[in-house]
Chains A and B, each alone.
Chain A
Amino acid sequence: NAGVMQNPRHLVRRRGQEARLRCSPMKGHSHVYWYRQLPEEGLKFMVYLQKENIIDESGMPKERFSAEFPKEGPSILRIQQVVRGDSAAYFCASSPRAGGQEQYFGPGTRLTVT
């Protein structure tokens, strides 16, 4: 049973470019969460999605960041016009039920902005 998959594992972007991060949840999981881990800091919640719906985006920066989880295909975290401060590890987690419990994490995407 495959775990949570994320790609790419490493992504390098120049300032001003767009970054697209993909996440495929575990089989049977319809709840997806995105977290960001900055250097020397803990994991911070960004957004919670179910299929075709954003449920909670309270941790998402107001500008440049967006997320989706379409009916078909992976969840996408999109960062427009990246800046150096966006350099971080971005983790996706999935859960079999609502409520935030039992979240299983993917390997992460390490974004470097040059």
Chain B
Amino acid sequence: QKEVEQDPGPLSVPEGAIVSLNCTYSNSAFQYFMWYRQYSRKGPELLMYTYSSGNKEDGRFTAQVDKSSKYISLFIRDSQPSDSATYLCAMGSNAGNMLTFGGGTRLMVKP
């Protein structure tokens, strides 16, 4: 079993839809959580970073962490074709220095 599970998709939605992306994890030592966006053949771009359970909002993006359920989410409001990319969740613990990534969810937003 992988430490971080993420549905690979693809997830196809119409422009303007609300998108929900999710990850589950098994390691209770994970304390901080990140979402990255990766366009094809590009490097991952840091979108959101959270350290605690609850919600964090930044523009059209909302990150949600539920440590009791070991479940994190990224919501994208008013999705745009330019949001079409692979979204990676990543997490780390205070005991280490590495990030553990999910496999990524490919999102396609259709005009």
Contact = CB atoms under 8 A, between A and B. Distances in A.
Contact of B103 (A41, A45, A55): A41
A85 interface: no
What secondary structure prevails in chain B residues at the interface with A?
loop
In the complex, which range does the number of interface residues on chain B fall in? 20 to 34
A100 B99 CA distance: 7
Contacts of B103: 41-42
A52 interface: no
A58 B97 CA distance: 10
Contact of B92 (A91, A100, A108): A100
Interface residues of A, number: 28
Interface in B93-108: 94, 96-104
Interface of A: 4, 6, 31, 33, 35, 41-45, 48, 55-56, 58-59, 91, 98-108, 110
